[in-house]
Amino acid sequence: MKSAPANPASGILLVDKPQGITSHDVVARARKSVGTRKVGHAGTLDPMATGLLILGVNSATRLLTYIVGLDKQYTATIRLGVATTTDDAEGEPLAGGPAEALTAVTDDAIIAGAAGFTGTILQRPSSVSAIKVDGRRAYALAREGAPVELAPRSVTVSAFDVLAIRRSEWIDVDVRVDCSSGTYIRALARDLGDLLGVGGHLTALRRTRIGPFRVDAAVGLEEPLAERMLAPAAVAASLHPRLDLTTQEAVDLAHGKRIALAGAGTRAAVAPDGRLVGLVEAVDGKAVVLVNFPPDPTAPSRIETQGEQT
């Protein structure tokens, strides 16, 4: 019989990932800090990237499915004048456009070029993405030297704003991007460089927002993470309208019974004691449980119960 985890408390962690480590490294450190192996994340960041990584602990990992597909915001730096094999600074340089072509690129052309990649667009992912090709990750095939050509996919870029332009041997462009899940900022850097005829790649990337969650509210890995978990009910209520249950309704839902529920859409069903019972939706006037959240084996301790993050 398996023993209970050292820390059975469930919650969501907003972590500010530092540069130079993988998302898996962050999960490993969180497992040690929190005291349980049941930790997952809602969307990876490359080692080069920094910023918001959302972790689920114990039963709160069930919420990650509802977080991973949310829209995202990034700040980034694009270097115009040279392309790379990986579309970012970790790849080998490729030939860019002629020096006179770079000199001819105006600020207005850069701003207009970025604006042209907004809306719903077809984007060809980088060959070093995590997309699977015949059961294998594209980046693994690319590192082995195998040709990788990924099909374009539809993504939505709500904003591609130029924040600053700095000129030296290259042109470095600081940008802010609001986009749908699945958008590759490296590909935007590559495509902007191609559009301007000079090549381009990403030199810095920071994720600043996932849905309603912002990096300003995130914690560093050096902090005691077990003390900084957000209560599942608060997180669920920031994603869906909150449904406050009576004590009996909470018991009934936990036992698989359907309670009366009017209206439509997903709700975060919360017990009188503040515990998240489940995510439900109304079908024919009854609440159907989409996912339930069993109570922790012992009462959660030192979990933040503040309202939703914005």
Q: Enumerate domains of the chain plus CATH numbers.
A: 72-210 (3.30.2350.10), 232-292 (2.30.130.10)
pTM of the model: 0.88
Residue 169 CB-density burial (10 A; 0-12 exposed, 13-18 middle, 19+ buried): exposed
The answer to whether residues 131 and 138 touch, using CB atoms and an 8 Å cutoff, is yes
- State how far the Cα of 67 lies from the Cα of 175, in Å rounded to an integer: 24
Q: Is 140 a residue whose pLDDT tops 80?
A: no
Q: Average pLDDT of the chain?
A: 88
Listed residue (201, 198, 173) closest to 114, CA to CA = 173
Q: Which two tokens stand for residue 40?
A: 């997952």
Residue 58 CB-density burial (10 A; 0-12 exposed, 13-18 middle, 19+ buried): buried
Which residues, at least 6 apart from 55, have a Cβ–Cβ distance to it below 8 Å?
12, 13, 15, 26, 27, 30, 39, 40, 41, 42
Q: Look at 94 and 271; give whichever has higher pLDDT.
A: 271
HSE on the CB side for 33, CA within 13 Å? 22
Candidate from 32-41, 104-113, 128-137, 169-178 with smallest mean pLDDT: 128-137
Which residues, at least 6 apart from 310, have a Cβ–Cβ distance to it below 8 Å?
212, 214, 238
The active-site residue out of 16, 46, 178, 296 is 46
Q: Which two tokens stand for residue 254?
A: 């936990």
| pLDDT bucket at 308, cuts 50 / 70 / 90 | very low
C-alpha distances out from residue 92 to 24, 221, 273, Å: 25, 31, 56
The answer to whether residues 114 and 157 touch, using CB atoms and an 8 Å cutoff, is no
Is 46 tagged catalytic? yes
The answer to whether residues 305 and 235 touch, using CB atoms and an 8 Å cutoff, is no
Backbone angles phi, psi at 14, to 5 degrees: -100, 110
Backbone angles phi, psi at 139, to 5 degrees: -65, -30
Angle at 154 between CA 92 and CA 162, to 5 degrees: 60
Q: What is the pLDDT of residues 163-183, one digit of tens each?
A: 999 999 999 999 999 999 999
How confident is the model at residue 6, as a pLDDT? Answer: 72
Listed residue (57, 53, 42, 50) closest to 11, CA to CA = 57
Q: For residue 115, how far is the Cα from the chain centroid?
A: 23
